[in-house]
């Protein structure tokens, strides 16, 4: 077999050459860095004096550090709430909108906008929107002052729709409660009706003082989670749901029609079809979406760093930001040991969460 | 109970169309909710105060009659309607209308003051040598008081052309500014004082004044504008990274996809694994690595530390895991027969790679280039760690600094922050519009962002 040796060695040589840049990145910027961080997490080190081995002291100090405990709580709740909510909402929307959609390119372009722009742009606009006299509070003020309009609109729509549906059924049409043709008519009537009620002063906007919710510059909490973090969660969910919905929609288009037809032959209800056909078919997509969502949200850094200029540190700190803060943000010498310990902790946490998710089996393995 | 009527195809078709209309309306509303804030931010970059309450879409800079006035003033001041400038000997006049309640008397006072980025006013540099004439040209009496129209004529008595002519028109106490030929930039002092940033800006200078201010006003110690430097840094780094990625990622991807060598699966697993480990783990060591000049190698080239340089942004992550995975998947998808045929013809591995593989990989390389450009343009964490001097900042870091500087509690100049934001978004938007298909492809390959 000596004739193999020449070409084989040749291939090995080229493979090594081709992989050289990757080996540099993996070896030095990743593996070496990983093990150095691991080593420093057992050391007392400030970037200047040489590292002193202190055993597990840094890890013990972490769990005595209030900032760390807050960061841990924030990261975990952020990951769970955001991943769960965005997956659920995206799935719901995809199922509701499931049909052949023409002109999807246009909507896709719109939905991708927040993803292609930098997190700083999104974050700055977010800060500007959530000022005390910002757009968010303005919209809330409008909603509060115009609630008579919304209520009468809603009332008119309900009355109109029920009338139309009852009338349609009386004439013997198989009309559903949310019959789309009638619903358009009802919405139109409701809108025109609310306009004229306002025009003839039968209803009037309230003039209550502006909504004064302080979104970022506050340490207040809601359900144990600081309000600024809730705001960041809402931002994340709002910017991710549309793109995620597109993923689910693409997954739904791939479900074979025959499956539904067979289910219908067996007399399956809408719910049964959803539960036994649609959801299982979406499992691979769901797995991918949840895994990447969990990793991304657990390691959330950008929004915490960007809003920490406005919001109090304790209200937005996350594990990733805690690491950075120990290196550069805390004042005084960098606490490399603490930063490294927290970073290793974050890496292990990510691994554990992803493994648990795999074991619990929300969705099947897609790759 | 009426009996079920037999309905025809058309009845169901109407239902389907109405439902489709709901789907499109909903998608449209969603698109508006996602894009709306960005569009509103672009409009607000033209506002005097983007934090106004209530927020409105009444934006003088985007109101065409003001463009005409700005053009006319530019012509009067120096025959340049587009860019303005105040030539020696030229005079320009501006009509302002003030409201005088009963009992209020007195003339206007005119001062030449320039706004600073932090909400205060100071004389411009150079201070124009000016002759000012104020003439009361019209009076309207009403039940509550009277409206006085003044014509302010300014003549350049100096010998040079001034690029900027700011103006503050101060009415007597309790009077109120109503309107002027050119809408002022701000009205303060309980309505008695109207400020113009620049009367001789010309149309372009008028419309884009905050963009120009954001671009030029903020300067480094040597007096050079700093924003263009940030744009330049971002471009150099993004283009450099694209080149590096195009060189190295396909090499590694090809080796992992086609070449046989021991430990191939382990290596690929390691690449996948790096995607899961947070950057926060590796950045500490990489920071120290660059500070020590890559094991001291940089000392050979006369540098103690590579921090705060372009090198710092390139060297640690020469090849991105995502790029390698993408390229590997692509190479695995093309049929192996071509290579085998070439190999039988006696072509070497490198020759096959450059002559056969790379030309076929053009679409994948386009995706790689675009995603790399976008990723580098938006990169936040690593530049934040290694860049210390303002001159070295990339746009995201610079914008964050902009917010701290201009958005501080006292003088919130959000129009400048938003202008900077808009400028920094333009390249990525252009790339996205041109190559939307590739983006979608890339997002699909990379899972989700």
Closest CA to A244 of A84, A78, A117: A84
Q: Is B155 left (phi over 0), alpha (psi -120 to 50) or beta?
A: beta
Angle between helices B414-434 and B436-445 (to 10 degrees): 90
The pLDDT of residue A2 is 44
Residues of A numbered 59-78 whose beta carbons fall under 8 angstroms of chain B's beta carbons: which are they? none
Tokens of B196: 């113009």
Put simply, the answer to whether B277 touches A114 (Cβ < 8 Å) is no
pLDDT at B409 over 60: no
Contact A244 B448 (CB under 8 A): yes
CB-based contacts of B196, cutoff 8 Å, min separation 6? B166, B167, B168, B182, B184, B185
Which distant-in-sequence residues (6+ apart) come within 8 Å of B16 by Cβ? none
Q: What's the CA gap between A77 and A62, in Å, rounded?
A: 19
Task: Give percent of chain B above pLDDT 70.
Answer: 95
Whether residue B209 is predicted with pLDDT greater than 80 in this model: the reply is yes
Residue-wise burial string across B415-448, b where 16 or more C-beta atoms lie within 10 A, e elsewhere: bbbbbbbbbbbebbeebbeebbebbbbbbebbbb
Residue B298, both tokens: 């940089």
Give the span between the Cα atoms of A64 and A338, in whole angstroms: 12
A91 with A81: CB under 8 angstroms? no
In order along its 367 residues, chain A shows pLDDT tens digits of 444 456 677 888 889 999 999 999 999 999 999 999 999 999 999 888 888 999 899 999 999 999 999 999 999 999 999 999 999 999 999 888 887 778 788 888 888 889 899 999 999 999 999 988 899 999 999 999 999 999 999 999 999 999 999 999 888 888 888 889 999 999 999 999 999 999 998 888 888 888 889 999 888 889 989 999 999 999 999 999 998 888 888 888 878 888 888 888 888 888 888 888 888 888 888 888 888 889 889 999 999 999 988 899 999 999 999 999 999 877 778 999 999 999 999 999 999 988 888 777 654 443 3
Please report where in the chains the tokens 């769990």 appear, as a residue.
Answer: A63
Give residue B297's pLDDT band: very low, low, confident or very high (50, 70, 90).
confident
Residue B254, CA distances (Å) to A269, B26, B322, B339 in order:
50, 44, 14, 12
Tokens standing for residue B348: 């070497």
pTM: 0.90
> pLDDT over 90 for what percent of chain B?
41
What is the ipTM for the molecules in this complex?
0.89
pLDDT confidence of residue A9:
78
Task: Give B261 to chain A, closest Cα distance, Å.
Answer: 6
Give chain A positions within 8 Å (CB) of B24.
101
Over its C-alpha atoms, chain B yields an Rg (Å, rounded) of: 31
Of the residues A102, A110, A333, the best mutation for testing chain B's interface (the one with the most B CB atoms within 10 Å of its CB) is: A110
CB pairs A-B closer than 8 Å: 296
pLDDT of the residue at B413: 82
- pLDDT at res. B3: 62
Confirm or reject contact between A252 and chain B (CB < 8 A): no
Mutate: best of A62, A120, A338, partner B, most B CBs <10 A: A120
Cβ(B69)–Cβ(B182) below 8 Å: yes
Q: What is the DSSP string of B112-163?
A: --EE-TTS-EE--SSPP-EEEEEEEEEEEEETTEEEEEEEEEEEE-SSS-BS
How far is Cα of residue B116 from the mean position of the Cα atoms in its chain? 21
pLDDT at A363: 47
- Can you tell me the distance from the alpha carbon of A286 to that of A362, in angstroms, rounded to the nearest whole number? 8
Cα separations in angstroms, A71 against A78, A224, A300, B335: 10, 13, 11, 49
pLDDT in tens, B342-375: 888 888 888 888 888 899 899 889 999 999 999 9
Question: Would you state the pLDDT for residue B373?
Answer: 93
Task: Please tell me which of the candidates B4, B319, B350 has its beta carbon nearest to residue A174.
Answer: B4
Q: Give the closest residue to B415 by CA, choosing from B104, B185, B144, B95.
A: B185
Nearest CA in chain B to A243: B448
What does the DSSP 8-state code read for residue B219? Answer: B
Q: Nearest CA of chain B to the CA of A57: how many Å?
A: 18
**What ranges in A274-335 are assigned the alpha helix state H?**
279-298, 302-307, 313-316, 319-324
Contact B321, B275 (CB under 8 A): yes
DSSP assignment of B362-392, as one string?
A: HHHHHHHHHHHHHHHHH--HHHHHH--SGGG
Tokens of A136: 């968010």
Length of chain B: 449
**Residue A112 sits at the chain B interface (C-beta within 8 Å):** yes
From residue A37, give the alpha-carbon distance in Å to each of A56, A340, A341, B313: 14, 5, 8, 20
User: CA-CA distance, A315 to B89, in Å (whole number)?
Assistant: 60
Torsion of the alpha carbons at B21, B26, B30 and B32, rounded to the nearest 10:
50
CB atoms within 10 A of CB B6: 8
Alpha carbon distance, N-terminus to C-terminus of chain B: 55
Which residues contact residue B444 at a Cβ distance below 8 angstroms, ignoring those fewer than 6 apart? none
* Whether pLDDT at B443 is above 80: no
Q: How confident is the model at residue B2 (pLDDT cuts 50, 70, 90)?
A: low
Of B5, B282, B403, the CB nearest to A172: B5
Rounded to whole angstroms, the Cα distance separating B260 from A11 reads: 7
Compute the average pLDDT of residues B238-242.
Answer: 95
pLDDT at B235 over 60: yes
Query: So what's the pLDDT on residue B144?
Result: 82
Q: Residue B277, SS3?
A: coil
**C-alpha distances out from residue A278 to A165, A261, A263, A271, A359, Å:** 29, 13, 11, 10, 22
B-proximal residues of A, 260-289, CB under 8 Å = 288-289
Q: What is the dihedral of CA B157, B159, B164, B168, to 10 degrees?
A: -20
d(CA A168, CA A287): 44
Of A152 and B302, more confident: A152
Q: Average of pLDDT values for B159-186?
A: 89
User: Does the beta-carbon distance from A33 to B378 stay under 8 Å?
Assistant: no
A180 to B18: CB separation less than 8 angstroms, yes or no: yes
Using alpha carbons, select from B433, B393, B229 the residue that is nearest to residue A116: B433
């Amino acid at each position: 077999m000596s004739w193999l040796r020449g070409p084989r060695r040749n291939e090995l040589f080229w493979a090594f050459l081709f992989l050289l840049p990757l080996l540099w990145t993996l070896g030095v910027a990743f593996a070496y860095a990983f093990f150095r961080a691991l080593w420093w997490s057992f050391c007392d080190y400030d970037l200047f004096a040489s590292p002193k081995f202190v055993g597990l002291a840094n890890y013990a100090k972490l769990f005595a550090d209030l900032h760390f405990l807050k960061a841990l709580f924030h990261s975990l709740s952020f990951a769970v709430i955001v991943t769960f909510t965005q997956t659920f909402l995206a799935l719901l929307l995809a199922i509701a909108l499931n049909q052949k959609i023409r002109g999807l390119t246009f909507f896709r372009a719109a939905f991708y906008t927040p993803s292609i722009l930098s997190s700083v742009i999104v974050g700055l606009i977010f800060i500007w929107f959530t000022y005390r006299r910002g757009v968010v509070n303005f919209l809330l003020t409008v909603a509060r002052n115009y609630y008579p309009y919304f209520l009468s609109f809603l009332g008119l729509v309900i009355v109109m729709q029920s009338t139309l549906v009852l009338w349609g059924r009386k004439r013997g049409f198989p009309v559903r409660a949310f019959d789309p043709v009638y619903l358009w008519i009802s919405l139109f009537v409701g809108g025109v009706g609310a306009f004229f009620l306002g025009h003839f002063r039968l209803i009037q906007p309230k003039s209550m003082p502006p909504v004064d919710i302080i979104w970022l510059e506050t340490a207040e909490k809601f359900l144990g989670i600081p309000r600024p973090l809730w705001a960041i969660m809402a931002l994340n969910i709002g910017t991710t749901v549309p793109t995620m919905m597109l993923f689910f929609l693409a997954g739904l288009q791939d479900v074979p029609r025959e499956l539904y037809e067979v289910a219908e032959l067996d007399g399956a209800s809408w719910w049964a079809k959803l539960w036994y056909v649609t959801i299982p078919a979406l499992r691979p997509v769901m797995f991918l979406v949840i895994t990447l969502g969990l990793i991304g949200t657990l390691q959330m850094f950008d929004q915490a760093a960007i809003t920490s200029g406005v919001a109090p540190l304790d209200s937005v700190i996350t594990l990733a930001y805690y690491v950075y803060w120990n290196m550069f943000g805390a004042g005084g010498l960098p606490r490399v040991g603490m930063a490294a310990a927290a970073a290793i902790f974050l890496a292990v946490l990510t691994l554990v969460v992803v493994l648990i998710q795999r074991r619990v089996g929300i969705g099947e393995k897609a790759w | 109970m009426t009996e079920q009527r037999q309905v025809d195809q058309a009845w169901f078709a109407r239902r389907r169309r109405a439902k489709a209309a709901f789907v499109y309306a909903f998608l449209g509303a969603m698109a508006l909710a996602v894009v709306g804030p960005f569009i509103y931010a672009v409009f607000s970059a033209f506002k005097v105060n983007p934090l106004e309450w209530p927020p409105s879409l009444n934006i003088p800079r985007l109101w065409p009659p003001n463009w005409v006035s700005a053009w006319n003033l530019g012509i009067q001041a120096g025959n340049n309607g587009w860019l303005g400038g105040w030539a020696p000997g030229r005079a320009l006049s501006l009509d302002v209308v003030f409201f005088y309640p009963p009992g209020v008397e007195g003339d206007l006072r005119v001062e030449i003051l320039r706004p600073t980025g932090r909400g205060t006013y100071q004389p411009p540099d150079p201070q124009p040598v000016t002759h000012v004439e104020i003439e009361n040209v019209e009076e309207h009496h009403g039940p509550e008081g009277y409206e006085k129209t003044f014509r302010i004529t300014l003549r350049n008595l100096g010998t040079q052309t001034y690029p900027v002519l700011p103006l503050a028109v101060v009415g007597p106490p309790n009077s109120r500014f109503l309107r002027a030929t050119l809408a002022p930039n701000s009205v303060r002092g309980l309505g008695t004082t109207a400020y113009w940033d620049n009367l001789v800006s010309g149309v372009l200078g008028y419309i884009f004044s905050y963009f120009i201010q954001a671009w030029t006003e903020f300067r480094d110690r040597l007096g050079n504008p700093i924003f263009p430097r940030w744009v330049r840094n971002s471009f150099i780094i993004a283009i450099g990274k694209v080149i590096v990625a195009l060189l190295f990622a396909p090499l590694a991807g090809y080796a992992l996809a086609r070449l046989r060598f021991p430990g191939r699966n382990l290596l690929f697993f390691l690449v996948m694994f790096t995607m899961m480990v947070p950057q926060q783990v590796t950045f500490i060591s990489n920071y120290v690595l660059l500070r020590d000049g890559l094991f001291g190698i940089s000392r050979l080239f006369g540098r103690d530390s590579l921090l705060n340089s372009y090198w710092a942004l390139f060297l640690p992550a020469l090849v991105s895991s995502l790029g390698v995975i993408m390229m590997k998947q692509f190479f695995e998808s093309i049929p192996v027969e071509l290579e085998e045929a070439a190999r039988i013809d006696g072509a070497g591995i490198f020759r096959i790679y450059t002559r056969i593989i790379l030309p076929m990989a053009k679409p994948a390389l386009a995706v790689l280039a675009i995603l790399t450009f976008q990723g580098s343009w938006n990169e936040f964490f690593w530049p934040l760690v290694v860049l210390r001097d303002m001159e070295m900042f990339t746009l995201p870091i610079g914008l964050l600094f902009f917010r701290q500087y201009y958005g501080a509690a006292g003088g919130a100049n959000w129009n400048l922050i938003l202008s900077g934001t808009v400028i920094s978004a333009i390249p990525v938007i252009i790339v996205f519009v041109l190559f939307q298909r590739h983006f979608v492809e890339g997002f699909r390959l990379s899972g989700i962002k």
